[in-house]
Structure 1
Amino acid sequence: MKALLEVAGLSVWYGKAIALENVSLTVGEGEIVAVLGPNGAGKSTLLKAVSRMQPSQGTLALRGVSLQGFPAHEVVGKGICHCPEGRRLFPELSVLKNLMLGAYLRRDRAEVERDLEFVYALFPILRERAGQIVSTLSGGQQQMVAIGRALMGKPSLLLLDEPSVGIAHKLKMEIFDGIRKIRETGTAILMAEQDAQSAMRIADRVYVLEHGHVGREGTSAELSKDDYIRQAYLGVA
């Protein structure tokens, strides 16, 4: 599969503390890649480095073009949209206004309207709540808004940071079903997630981050048979 994103020898420091050291991974066109690992492993830092929200050293390339040196807003324009942990919505604005802010760099109005319809088809509750203030929504509905806002940037690579954290089971399943449907449109997804079982059900490949390093990597099928992964992440003896 042709690589969309290439990360090689990536290292990130917070002051004198190293958060990521010599991390390498790839995401293919139209592929879902999950990054698993415990709290503090560096999953969020990795996504921030890819979207250029966090300075880093090493190789970051989208379709062979280096991203190093570009500010975060220009990376969005190149086709990488980041849905951060904690959602980071504008709480006093409506659902629709939050969604449309994701398209702030775009000038293709007809395509923007089509993408908005896609988001509404993906998460129908957002159409019903389009005029509602975001802070009054449930956590799961707010996560749908956050994913929808990122999609409104028309990404070729969508970064999802802990999309299921703190969300009721029913809405979590709707979100993972939505992620599958996003991939069906050709959008590649790099997803950091603590719910290993749900992530591995939809991911093509998986990287396991531990202490800032890639400890294991492989297809979901391969890692689901790995005794360490089964015990540490899937709760299977």
Structure 2
Amino acid sequence: MSLLEIQGLAASYGKAVALESVSLQVQPGELVGVLGPNGAGKTTLLKAISRTLPSQGTLAFQGQSLHGREAHEVVGLGICHCPEGRRLFPELTVRKNLELGAYLRPSRAEVEADMEKVFALFPILRERLEQVVSTLSGGQQQFVAIGRALMGRPRLLLLDEPSVGIAHRLKIEIFDAIRAIAASGVAVLMAEQDAQNTLRVAERVYVLENGRVARQGSSAELAGDDHIRRIYLGV
């Protein structure tokens, strides 16, 4: 059974259709990329999964329908969403932002242990633990955002544009960390515009165009696809 099963998903903003008949799957521990230009429906897709946006169609996690569930219930099931733009609490410290990711979990010992796992991925955060988030660089703030989502102990991590606006050196560090997260057993569904790095780290990729799945396949298959090479890789 797939960890996440989506069939015929549709979503809109008023009369504006954002997703139309989207179907995809994510297996346990799999790293799946969703590529597409601005306005393709990537953010809408992740919002529909995390139930911050209504949708129609089949949307099941571990065989359970997500329709009718509130966003906090979805987190409790094991889906954590790292949104576009990070959405951190800028005047709180790194520590407080990370702890807020674990608000549903009562065990302090487990929270501290998971914070150590975040530090293993992003060592600079240990040094910045008591620093106010607004004083960090954009890349370091993205480390905090991903770390905060991991503090919820997700079975499925949703990442929306984790590399946008990030310096190249830190962007590579972020993608390598995402690959390490998936290697640890956490499934990842990552929406991105950086096709080169997405194809480098993801096992499979879906391409969204105008709210529909235009192409799908393994990263190797899509890296050799003439349309992908021309439109997304510029070769």
Q: Which residue is 1:52 aligned to?
A: 51
Q: CA deviation at 1:111?
A: 1.8
Q: Which residue is 1:151 aligned to?
A: 150
Q: Which residue is 1:233 aligned to?
A: 232
Determine helix, strand or coil for the equivalent of 1:3.
coil
Q: Which residue is 1:202 aligned to?
A: 201
Q: CA deviation at 1:114?
A: 1.2
Would you say 1:219 and 2:218 are equivalent positions? yes
Q: Which residue is 2:35 aligned to?
A: 36
Once residues 155 and 126 of structure 2 are traced to their aligned partners in structure 1, the CA distance between those partners, rounded to angstroms, is 24
Q: What are the superposed Cα offsets for residues 8-39 of structure 1, whole Å, 9 maximum, x if unpaired?
A: 11000110110000100000000000000010
Q: Percent identity?
A: 73
Q: CA deviation at 1:235?
A: 1.1
Q: CA deviation at 1:125?
A: 0.4
Q: Which residue is 1:167 aligned to?
A: 166
Once residues 108 and 69 of structure 1 are traced to their aligned partners in structure 2, the CA distance between those partners, rounded to angstroms, is 29
Q: CA deviation at 1:197?
A: 0.4
One-letter code aligned to 2:13:
Y
Q: What are the superposed Cα offsets for residues 87-115 of structure 1, whole Å, 9 maximum, x if unpaired?
A: 00000000010000000001132221111
Normalising to structure 2: TM-score of the pair? 0.99
Q: What are the superposed Cα offsets for residues 172-217 of structure 1, whole Å, 9 maximum, x if unpaired?
A: 0111111011111100000000000001100000000000000000
Gap runs ≥5 in structure 2: none
One-letter code aligned to 2:66:
L
Once residues 204 and 177 of structure 1 are traced to their aligned partners in structure 2, the CA distance between those partners, rounded to angstroms, is 14
Q: How does 1:9-88 map to 2 (within 5 A)?
A: 9-88=8-87
One-letter code aligned to 1:184:
A
Gap runs ≥5 in structure 1: none
Once residues 58 and 29 of structure 1 are traced to their aligned partners in structure 2, the CA distance between those partners, rounded to angstroms, is 22
Q: Which residue is 2:2 aligned to?
A: 3
Once residues 110 and 68 of structure 1 are traced to their aligned partners in structure 2, the CA distance between those partners, rounded to angstroms, is 33
One-letter code aligned to 1:46:
L
One-letter code aligned to 1:197:
Q
Normalising to structure 1: TM-score of the pair? 0.98
Would you say 1:125 and 2:124 are equivalent positions? yes
One-letter code aligned to 2:213:
V
- Structure 1 ranges of 4+ moved more than 4 A: none
Determine helix, strand or coil for the equivalent of 2:228.
helix
Once residues 109 and 100 of structure 1 are traced to their aligned partners in structure 2, the CA distance between those partners, rounded to angstroms, is 10
Once residues 181 and 207 of structure 1 are traced to their aligned partners in structure 2, the CA distance between those partners, rounded to angstroms, is 21
One-letter code aligned to 1:57:
Q
